[in-house]
Amino acid sequence: MRAEPNLLRSLDYSVLQQCMHCGLCLPTCPTFLETSRERHSPRGRISLMRAIADGELETTRAFAREMDYCLGCLACTTACPAGVDYATLFEAARAQAERSGAATGPGRRLVRAVTLRFLLLRPRALRAAARILWLYQSSGLGRLLRRSGLFALLPRRLGEIELQAFPVRRRFSDEIIAASERPRGPARFRVAVLTGCIQDIGFSDVNRATVDVLLENGCEVETPRAQSCCGSLHVHNGDLEAAAQLARRQLDSIDPGRYDAIISNSAGCGSHLRRYGHLLAGDRGYAARAAAWSAKVRDISEWLVEIGFRRPAAPGSGARPAAVTYHEACHLCHGQGITAEPREVLRAIPGVELRECPESTMCCGSAGVYSLTQPRTAGWLRDRKVGRLRSTGAAIVATANPGCQLQIQRGLAMGAREAQEIPRVVHPVVLLAEAYRMEAAGGGNA
């Protein structure tokens, strides 16, 4: 194993010393709840990180596996009375595992080379691959191959990955959103909308709804073309170098000084986008711009509440109220501290009855690629989440992250009994955009 710089030792040591080992994080940690093992808890992992930083332990494969087992949901940061910066520790620990070689293997290197280092660094290549996947999905070829039994002859893991592939949209964001759009009335604000990578090819409808809602609220919207990945998947998988490269690319294409806000509608992306200032703090050429960028990033619900968004007109008397429950994406509530704003958006929608979900802040098990790398734990969390959501009796589940949306959709479909209605899973901004459209079509009373 080749010698590499100890990234944990290079951290400000006070960050490693923050943990008081009080244990208040334990009831919030999904992996500790599953196993009740200290090493699977935040304070157990921090102890391992500190031992490596102190030179008492080597960066072993067991350490790499432990970091992979952590969801990175950051529930521990919300619970922590000492303000432990677990996000920084977790990113450094995963990067340490990757750079040391402890986490690598031939298959892992190949997957990372194709996904993190090729597709997610090249927007055109990612969109070309997505076109092929769309053809595969829309043609019915996937269903045909599954019925033929072909996947039974292949490694089981390959079949599982094929089943979990997210549905690709026929039209991507740049095809349905203009580079610049202005509201009907005077523009009060100018904002830039980030379309993302997975959000762009799998959830372009959410991006379109985001723009529509911003226009309804007096925002001039600019949506730069062919946007790159923000780098969140790279950071969460220990590739800080590529994450920094992508952050610089974003800053080169979007000048934060031109906008009142930079809008994100994906919880995982938004949490990382706010950390550009931290990521590039040591980069003389980009540090100032990165800090300005971080100060301008807003989640769509946060921005709407900040500017005092307009409530849609109430529907006609014949409209039935829709029961909606809300799942809090980890990187929105724990990573960004945004919990009240999405609820305020949902409550403002006419005809919506918001029903609180038990354990709304518990992770659903998606966590980026966690459902692929840790399917057993991800499945346990998914089923737990689906049970809580179904207990509300809501017909609609609102959530603000694409991974959560897919994970919950699959769980609801898998657990549905025959003839049981499957709740719709949707981003809150899509519901608000639909309410504005109903109002414009005459479905509401001013």
The fraction of the chain above a pLDDT of 70, given in percent, is 91
Q: What angle do CA 330, 333, 339 make, to 5 degrees?
A: 140
- Provide the pLDDT for residue 241: 94
Whether 6 maps to a domain, the answer reads no
Q: Note the pLDDT of residue 128.
A: 94
Which pLDDT score is estimated for 148? 73
- Cβ neighbors of 102 (< 8 A, separation 6 or more) are 1, 59, 60, 61, 63, 64
The alpha-carbon radius of gyration of the chain (Å, integer) is 22
Task: Give the residue from 77, 104, 131 where a domain finishes.
Answer: 104
Q: Which of 62, 79, 104 is the last residue of a domain?
A: 104
- For the chain, what percentages of helix, strand and coil (3-state, to nearest 5) are there? 55, 10, 40
Q: Which of 129-133, 144-148, 189-193, 206-210 has the lowest mean pLDDT?
A: 144-148
Same domain, 304 and 330: no
Residue 229 resides in a domain = yes
- Whether 429 maps to a domain, the answer reads yes
State the average pLDDT over residues 109-133. 90
Cβ(134)–Cβ(170) under 8 Å?
Answer: yes
Pair 67, 113 in one domain: no
CATH number at residue 332: 3.40.50
pLDDT at residue 2 is higher than 70: no
Q: Is the pLDDT reported for residue 136 higher than 90?
A: no
- Residue 355, pLDDT above cutoff 70: yes
Are 141 and 62 part of one and the same domain? no
Does residue 5 fall inside a structural domain? Answer: no
Band (pLDDT 50/70/90 cuts) for residue 110 is confident
Q: Please, which pLDDT band fits residue 377 given cuts at 50, 70 and 90?
A: very high
**Is 446 a residue whose pLDDT tops 70?**
no
Quick one: pLDDT band at residue 303, thresholds 50, 70, 90? very high
The residue-averaged pLDDT of 24-30 equals 96
From residue 264, alpha-carbon distances to 207, 224, 305, 336, 401 in Å are: 9, 13, 14, 12, 10
Query: Are 140 and 240 part of one and the same domain?
Result: yes
Whole-angstrom distance, CA of residue 45 vs CA of residue 90: 9
With beta carbons less than 8 A apart as the criterion, state whether 207 and 199 touch: yes
Query: Do 155 and 130 belong to one domain?
Result: yes
Q: Which of 83-92, 419-428, 430-439 has the lowest mean pLDDT?
A: 419-428
CB 352 within 8 A of CB 320: no
3 within a domain of the structure (yes/no)? no
- CA 446, CA 161: separation in Å to the nearest integer? 48
Number of folded domains in the chain? 3
Task: Give the pLDDT band (50/70/90) at residue 409.
Answer: very high
- Calculate mean pLDDT across residues 161-186: 88
**Of 310, 326, 344, the domain-final residue:** 310
pLDDT score for 24? 95
How confident is residue 318, by pLDDT bands cut at 50, 70 and 90? low
**Residues of the domain holding 410:** 314-445
Instruction: Measure the CA dihedral 298/301/305/309, to 10°.
Output: 110
Residues 207, 247: one domain?
yes
57 in any annotated domain: yes
Q: CA–CA separation, 446 vs 422, rounded Å?
A: 33
Residue from 183, 265, 268 nearest 221 by CA: 183
8 within a domain of the structure (yes/no): no
Cβ atoms within 10 Å, residue 210: 30
Evaluate if residue 13 carries a pLDDT over 60.
yes
Provide the pLDDT for residue 19.
92
Highest mean pLDDT: which of 95-99, 123-127, 136-140, 244-248? 244-248
Regarding whether 414 and 279 lie in a shared domain, the answer is: no
Looking at residue 169, its pLDDT comes to: 93
- What confidence category does residue 1 fall into, taking pLDDT thresholds of 50, 70 and 90? very low
Residues 146 and 285 in one domain: yes
Q: Is the pTM of this model over 0.85?
A: yes
45: domain CATH number? 1.10.1060.10
Is residue 81 in some structural domain? yes
Identity of the amino acid at 241:
E
Which tokens hold the place of 42?
A: 């935040």
Question: Do 175 and 237 lie in a common domain?
Answer: yes
Mean per-residue pLDDT over the chain, rounded: 90
Cα gap 136→283, rounded to integer Å: 43
| In a shared domain, residues 85 and 131 | no
> Do both 205 and 347 map to the same domain?
no
Verify that 259 and 293 share a domain, yes or no: yes
Q: Which of 421, 382, 384, 372 is nearest to 405 (CA)?
A: 382
The phi and psi torsions of 100 (rounded to 5 degrees) equal -75, -15
* pLDDT the model gives residue 402: 94
How does 98-107 read in b/e, with b if 16+ C-beta sit within 10 Å? bbbebbbeee
